[in-house]
Amino acid sequence: MPDKPDLAALVGSRICHDLISPIGAIGNGVELMLMEGAAKGPEMALITESVGHANARIRFFRVAFGASSAEQRIGRNEVMAIISDMTHGGRMQIDWDSPVDLPRHDVKLVFLLILCLESALPYGGRVQVERGEARWTLRATAAKLKIDPSLWEGLIHPAALAEIGPAQVQFLLVPEEITRQHRRLTTELAEGEIRLSF
C-alpha cells in the first residue's frame, strides 16, 4: 500500500512555488529601476534588502516545508547559498560541513531543525551543521538561549505538545519527518548549547 501523501509538504511546495516568481520579479524590477537611474536613497535600499530577505526565506521554506522524496538530490553549493542569503545581516550564523551531493529529504530535516534552533536563539548565536559518516549533528551555541522545555520535549514525545502556534509549527513537523525517514533523533540541552543528531 503506497504511503499517504504528505499534505502539509504539498501545500508548502505549492505556496513557495507560487510566491518565488513574483518575489523574483519584484527584485528584477528594483534592479531595472536602479539601472535606469532611480534614486539610491534609504527607501530603495530598504526595498532591495526586503526583497532579498523574502526571496531567501522562501527558498529556505521551499526545502524545509516542501515535498521531497528519497530520490531527490540537492547540492551543497545550493544549500550554502540559501543559508548565506537567509542569514545575511542577521544575528544567527550557520556553518555547514557536508558532502557535495545530498539527499533532499536529509536537508529538509536539517532545515526544520535549524528553524527549531532559531527559536532558541532570539539574541543571535552560531549553529554548526555537520554530516558525519552515519549521522547529522547540529550544535547551537549562544551566550543566552531561550528554551521552552515543552517544545523540545515534543520533538521526542509529540504527544507532549499541547497548544502550538504558527511560529512553532516546525516542532510538530520534525517528529513526523523523523518517523517518515525511519530515523531516531537525539537532543541534548545544556547551558549555552543545544545539540541535535539523527
Task: Give the pLDDT confidence score for residue 21 in this predicted structure.
Answer: 83
The answer on pLDDT for 45 being more than 90 is: no
Average pLDDT of span 42-58: 86
Average pLDDT of span 118-137: 95
The answer on pLDDT for 75 being more than 80 is: yes
The residue among 73 and 19 whose pLDDT is bigger is 73
CB of 135 closer than 8 Å to CB of 178: no
The answer on pLDDT for 3 being more than 70 is: no
The answer on pLDDT for 1 being more than 50 is: no
The answer on pLDDT for 2 being more than 70 is: no
| Chain centroid to CA 113 | 7
State pLDDT tens for residues 88-107.
Answer: 888 999 999 999 999 999 99
CATH pick for 74-198 out of 3.40.50.300, 3.30.565.10, 3.20.20.70, 3.40.50.720: 3.30.565.10
> What DSSP string describes 125-190?
EEEEEEE-SS-EEEEEE-SS----HHHHHHHH-GGG--S--GGGHHHHHHHHHHHHTT---EEEEE
The answer on pLDDT for 170 being more than 90 is: yes
Helix-helix angle 7-35:42-65, to 10 degrees: 160
User: pLDDT-derived band of residue 171, with 50, 70 and 90 as boundaries?
Assistant: very high
Average pLDDT of span 4-22: 80
Q: Where are the domains of the chain?
A: 1-67, 74-198
The residue among 83 and 12 whose pLDDT is bigger is 83
Task: Give the pLDDT confidence score for residue 32 in this predicted structure.
Answer: 84
Residue 39 CA to residue 90 CA, distance in Å, equals 26
Backbone angles phi, psi at 106, to 5 degrees: -65, -50
User: pLDDT-derived band of residue 83, with 50, 70 and 90 as boundaries?
Assistant: very high
Task: Give the pLDDT confidence score for residue 180 in this predicted structure.
Answer: 92
Express as a percent the part of the chain with pLDDT over 90: 58
The residue among 81 and 8 whose pLDDT is bigger is 81
